[in-house]
Structure formats: C-alpha cells, structure tokens
Amino acid sequence: MDNLYDAVIVGGGPAGLSAAIYLARARYRVLVIEKDKIGGQITITADVVNYPGVASASGEAITAIMREQAITFGAEFCSAEVTGLDLDAQIRTVTTTAGQMRAFGVILAPGAQPRMVGFKGEAEFKGHGVAYCATCDGEFFTGLDVFVVGGGLAAAEEAIFLTKYARHVTMLVRRGEMSVPRSIAEKVEANTNITVRYNTVIDEVHGDSVLRGAVIRDTASGAVEQYVPPAGESFGVFVFAGYAPATEVLKGVVELTSDGYIVTDDHLKTARDGVYAAGDVRVKPLRQMVTACADGAIAATELERHIAAMQHETGLVPVVPAQARPAPPAEPETASPSTGGGFLTPDMKAQLGQLFGGMTRPVELRASLDDRPISAEVQGFLGELVGVSDKLSWVVGEPSDLAPSINVWCDGKATGLSFHGVPGGHEFNSFVIGLYNVGGPGQPIDDATAARIAKIEAPTDIKVLISLSCTMCPTTVMSVQHIAAMNQNVTAAVFDMNHFPDLRERYNVMSVPAMVVGDDVHFGKMAVGEVLDILGV
Ligand SMILES: Cc1cc2nc3c(=O)[nH]c(=O)nc-3n(C[C@H](O)[C@H](O)[C@H](O)COP(=O)(O)OP(=O)(O)OC[C@H]3O[C@@H](n4cnc5c(N)ncnc54)[C@H](O)[C@@H]3O)c2cc1C
C-alpha cells in the first residue's frame, strides 16, 4: 500500500512542519500536504523578532529550516490541496488534487486566510484597486493615495510599509483605538505620511476599470464623506481585517465553532480518535508561530499512541521509502537578481543539480534579448543556471517584441512556457518547477485533473502578470505552467510587470498575480483546478 502513511498532515505552515519533525523523527511515515507555499502565513513577514532563539529573521528563512529538519528526518511532502476527508473508516482517507492518501492518523493544520470586510465594491474591484497583500501590490500605488482598512498588527505594519510607495496612507480603524501594543500605535501615529482615522469605516468603493471614489463613514457621528482622488488618478484600498480559519473543507467532518475554528481537547484531539488539530486553525488564545509549533509538537506526540495501536491492530506498518521521496523543489533559498553577485549559492546549485539531473529529457532555454540592462541579467542568470546540470542548455533565440524572455524548448520544440524578465525573487522556485515539469517526470497530478488538462483542444494562450516580491504569484504561475507543460495547445507566458508596464496598462492590472486569458483578467492565487475551472474544462 504505497499510499498508506502513519500520519497525514494537512498544511505545511509552522504547525504542520513541527508535527512532521516530531513524527518523522519518531520514525513514522508522515506526509505533509501543502496546497500553496511551504511555510504558511509567516512567509510574508520579512522580520520576525519574537520567535524564541531567533533574534531576527524572515518568516521564510525560519520555516525553510523547519522544512529541512522535517526532510532530514524522512518526512515526505506533497504539493496538492486537500479537498475532502473521510474519517469514518479505521484507516482514514484524505482526498487531494494529487489523488487519495490513506493514514492511521491525521493532523489538521490548515491555518487561516485573509478575511474580506464586505463593503460594497470590495469583490468587484479586487485586483483593480482593492488589495490584500502590501508586499505584492504596494508598488502599483506609487505616488497615489492609499487607504488601509483595519486596526490590528498586520494593518499597522502594512501601513508603514506602504508609505514607501504611496503619496499618503490613511488608516481607517473601526474602533476608537488600534488593537496593537501602544508602542506600535505611537509609531504609526508619529509617521507624517500616515493619517489614522478612528471610528471610521469604508462603506463603498466605485470606479470604472480602476477605483475612482470611496464612501467613508464616521461611526461616532454618522457623517458620510465622499473621497475622490485628484483628477485622472486612481487610489488603493488595502484590507487587513484579520484572518479566517481555512476550514471550509472540514465542515461536517470535525466540530467547528460558529467562527469556523476547530474544537479540540487539551491534548489537541478532536472528537474523533486519531484526528488532531494544530496551529491557528484551532480554538486558542494566542495565534503566533511559537504556539503553532508547540501545537504541532503536542499533536504529533499524542497521535503516536494511536498510530502504534493501529499498527498493532491492523498488522500494517507503513514503510518509509528507502530514499525519502525527493523533496518538492521548493524555496530552500531565494535567488535575487538585484544582489549584483551570483544568483545561486553552492547549496542551491547542489540541490538543483540533483533535481535537473533526474529529468528524463534535456531542456533548452532560448533567450530573446534586447538592449535593456535586464537582458544582460537574463544572460547572467542563464549562464549560471545551465552550469548546474548537463540536462540544461541555453542559446540566444529569435528577437521578440516581448524581450527579454526565456523560452523553454524540449525535444526540438517550443513548449509554450516562457518567462519575460529574470525569474528571481519568489519566482525562482516556480521557474525551476516549470522546467522540471517540462523535462519530466514532473510533479505528480491525479488522473482526473490530468484528464481535464488533456481536454483542452483549442489553442489557449495564457499570460500571468506577476511581480518578483509577490508571495501569492508563484501558485498561479506553477498551476498555469503545469497545464501548459502537459498540453501543447496551452501556452504560459509569465511577465514581470516591472519590465512590461504596457501590459499593466492594457489590462488595468493593479494587483498580482493577474492571469489573462483572451481579454479576461482573473486575479489571485490559483491552484490547477481553479485555472481549469476558468478555462471551462
Ligand atoms: C502579516 C502577519 C505577520 C505575522 N507576524 C508574526 C510574528 O512576527 N511572529 C509570530 O510568532 N507570528 C506571526 N504571525 C502569525 C503566524 O504567521 C501564525 O500564527 C502561524 O503562521 C500559524 O501557523 P499554522 O501552521 O497554524 O498556519 P499557517 O501558517 O496559516 O499554515 C497553514 C498552511 O496550510 C495550507 N493549507 C490550508 N488549507 C489547505 C488545504 N485544504 N490543503 C493543503 N494545504 C492547505 C496553507 O496554504 C498554509 O500554508 C503573523 C501572521 C501574519 C499574517
């Protein structure tokens, strides 16, 4: 039973990774299923200063180490979304977009996701002025007015961050004070580029292709005000109104509070034997990385007893593959094109050499170049990348109006995958995975999804507009590239918007990732299934 595990962990954030470390170290066969980015929510935080033992580090760096620890102990990882759980039988079944997994025990650690506020126009203008990620979209509002909706820590931190770009930031705080430590509130209030308006909410945004006005209300006096940006300008609304537990798929499966949080006992067990919850997703007083990690450790050690009993009862002992499955080629480190030095560290070269060395077919990268400095960066990047494996090569290809671009070829044919710019920052990993999917064997995909991809018969050109600092972009990029790698009728052209401002104008894009199919623009992180839904197959 290849797909039988001692434990399946839903979610690869700090809670899931800690649970994986403990279970794998105890020599159980454990699988972490992550639909997006290993590391979870904290990966968008540049500077974590309250995780004990780490004076200051990015969330991405801390969780990359957790992931390495789990892999070292033999944990396996699967890049897929959990879409259903059957917890009735003795051996539990976890249904994912990459197929079904079976396990004696399950740890639920899917964390939380940003909450929408619900003002009029919020959904309609998402991506056209309403945003949820300052690091992803802040630069699109350079020189414009920006409103930040929310009064918590994320809103305060992001308001300060947005002053890097915006002409002025106005924080709209629903209550009479911010719900942050006084020291942080004072820092925000002292910033001359930020105005904090208490007891104030946004009721509506409106516009044409971008935002042209907002209705703001003082909840104390009831006074309503129309905000209109200077003539010809747009503006931005960044919403940081907290997080909601990611438990849609768990409704009716385990007990949830009316807010959607999972109810556990003090040992983190749900009402079902062998099913535990850990991290931000459960009812608890403090949602931080340190408590998420502690939860993971507790859930794992508690679950061990159940697993041992199940092994004894069934006579089945899941076997950890002799060579733990190669880890998904995920974010060990981030390549940065702006450092001026090399793109790849020795560790990255070693990991990439192993990954590309395992490809079944060589991949050729054809570069279309122009005379912009970015084209020189593309050449530097390619020179270094192909040096890690003889399965990769690069040549100068045909000139193009959309240069610079790296066009991916295999078996003497264009595969339809291209990256316009230098695939550094958060896109390095997705670029590597795209090559791996072209060269084969590629990421696993379930039969039903593969059949949907095969159904695309009409030529389908997809553009994905991204920025290298966007943490949500790689998911959509990887999904579209995966589909294009499997179906010759589909092309996936990824554009770094910094170097292609005309596209941004043409499609009125104020948020990334933006997926363009024909004239339609779709915003946000998208898994393969969601892209296929949009393509109508
Ligand atoms: C802006 C911000 C700043 C923060 N700063 C700090 C800080 O400085 N210090 C600190 O200690 N904490 C901080 N936190 C809180 C901290 O990030 C969380 O407490 C912690 O990440 C919770 O970990 P978790 O593993 O429970 O959940 P998450 O980190 O949310 O991870 C859950 C994972 O599960 C995945 N997932 C969800 N559903 C599915 C599914 N159906 N299938 C597969 N995978 C799924 C998600 O993609 C995600 O990667 C911050 C949070 C935010 C948002």
- Write down the pLDDT at residue 36: 85
- Write down the pLDDT at residue 82: 95
- Reply yes or no on whether the pLDDT at 221 is more than 90: yes
Number of the ligand 1 atom closest to the C-alpha atom of 39 = 49
Please give the average per-residue pLDDT across 514-537, as a whole number. 94
Tell me the best of 41, 50, 264, 287 to mutate to test the pocket of ligand 1, counting ligand atoms within 8 Å of each CB and taking the most. Answer: 41
- Write down the pLDDT at residue 128: 87
Choice among 15-29, 86-100, 336-350, 374-388 with the minimum mean pLDDT: 336-350
Cis peptide before 14 (omega within 30 of 0): no
Choice among 78-82, 212-216, 222-226, 468-472 with the minimum mean pLDDT: 468-472
Tell me the best of 22, 32, 38, 42 to mutate to test the pocket of ligand 1, counting ligand atoms within 8 Å of each CB and taking the most. Answer: 42
Number of the ligand 1 atom closest to the C-alpha atom of 80 = 43
pLDDT higher at 338 or 258? 258
- Reply yes or no on whether the pLDDT at 324 is more than 70: no
Distance CA 315, CA 304 (A): 16
Length of the chain: 537
pLDDT bracket for residue 15 (50, 70, 90):
very high
Reply yes or no on whether 411 is catalytic.
Answer: no
pLDDT digits (tens, 9 = 90+) for 407-417: 999 999 999 99
Reply yes or no on whether 133 is catalytic.
Answer: yes
- Write down the pLDDT at residue 364: 97
- Reply yes or no on whether the pLDDT at 147 is more than 60: yes
Residue with tokens 């947005």: 162
- Write down the pLDDT at residue 323: 54
Please give the average per-residue pLDDT across 126-131, as a whole number. 88
Share of the chain above pLDDT 70, in %: 96
Torsional sign, CA 343, 345, 347, 349: positive
246 lines ligand 1 (CB under 6 A): yes
What pTM was estimated for this model as a whole? 0.62
- Write down the pLDDT at residue 501: 87
CB contact set of 82 (below 8 Å; sequence gap of 6+) = 10, 33, 35, 94, 95, 96, 110, 249
Ligand 1: which residue has its CA nearest to atom 47? 36
- Write down the pLDDT at residue 342: 65
- Reply yes or no on whether the pLDDT at 450 is more than 90: yes
* Cα Rg of the chain (Å, integer): 24
Q: How far is CA 278 from the centre of its chain?
A: 20
Active-site choice (6, 36, 137, 145): 137
Average per-residue pLDDT in the chain?
91
For residue 298, give the nearest of 273, 320, 270, 276 by alpha carbon.
276
pLDDT digits (tens, 9 = 90+) for 293-312: 999 999 999 999 999 999 99
- Write down the pLDDT at residue 333: 42
- Write down the pLDDT at residue 426: 82
CA distances from 60 to 46, 109, 137, 210, 361 (A): 8, 18, 19, 32, 32
pLDDT bracket for residue 332 (50, 70, 90):
very low
- Reply yes or no on whether the pLDDT at 327 is more than 60: no
Tell me the best of 288, 293, 446, 526 to mutate to test the pocket of ligand 1, counting ligand atoms within 8 Å of each CB and taking the most. Answer: 288
- Reply yes or no on whether the pLDDT at 335 is more than 70: no
Q: How far is the CA of 299 from the centre of ligand 1 (A)?
A: 17
pLDDT bracket for residue 346 (50, 70, 90):
confident
- Write down the pLDDT at residue 340: 40
Cis peptide before 513 (omega within 30 of 0): yes
Active-site choice (133, 410, 470, 473): 133
